[in-house]
Structure 1
Amino acid sequence: MSITFSLNPQVSLAETDDGAVLLHARTGRYWQLNTTGLSVLRSLTSGQTCEQAAQTLASQHAIPAMHARNDIAALLASLRSADLLRESR
């Protein structure tokens, strides 16, 4: 069974020149993502698995896959703890 990700319905995303800004309507807090973070978020919310997103990130930036997996795990942990991202199985 794979995990799917989506933005919290109370979160809006606005793209910027250097990534995106996320606004949580309930809390009024903003978060900024750089272009790489936005790319990973889009990959995950479009149905890619964490492993697929990590492979894409690794190949785009010529970094080891383990490094990409760790970076994605850290991003996911931050997005979840801020109640920006939802997951379902």
Structure 2
Amino acid sequence: MPLRLAAGISTAHTDYGTVLLNQRSGEYWELNPTGTLVLRTLLDGGDEADAAKVLVAAFDTSPSQAAHDVGELTAQLRSSGLAS
């Protein structure tokens, strides 16, 4: 399932990653560069498997760890209402 940011969520890229701001509640999340890479891959139309492959290529991590981390981040973004 493609990932899309929810209505009212804005992003700002920083030297340290990406900040996601819920404009309705004022709450924000800060993603590190790894989380930013995953989010960008997903928002650009990739699926979780694509994001895991990108992590494996960019960092010293196993495919199973990358898949787990991508799944966790995606679940957290959805459960927090930042993405659907």
Please say whether Structure 1 and Structure 2 have the same fold, judged by a TM-score greater than 0.5: yes
Task: Give 4+ residue runs of structure 1 displaced > 4 Å after superposition.
Answer: none
The structure in which a higher percent of residues are strand is 1
Instruction: Note the C-alpha offset of 1:4.
Output: 1.0
The share of aligned pairs that are identical, in percent, is 39
What is the alpha-carbon distance in structure 2 between the residues aligned to residue 84 and residue 59 of structure 1?
Answer: 27
Q: Which runs of 5+ in 2 are unaligned?
A: none
1:70 aligns with 2:68: yes
What is the alpha-carbon distance in structure 2 between the residues aligned to residue 59 and residue 14 of structure 1?
Answer: 25
Instruction: Note the C-alpha offset of 1:62.
Output: 2.3
SS in 2 for 1:85: coil
Q: 52, 56, 59: which is aligned to 1:61? A: 59
Instruction: Note the C-alpha offset of 1:26.
Output: 1.4
Provide the residue aligned with 2:40 in structure 1: 42
TM-score normalised according to structure 2 size = 0.94
- Greater relative contact order (CA < 8 Å, ≥ 6 in sequence): 1
TM-score normalised according to structure 1 size = 0.89
State how many pairs are aligned: 84
What is the alpha-carbon distance in structure 2 between the residues aligned to residue 58 and residue 81 of structure 1?
Answer: 25
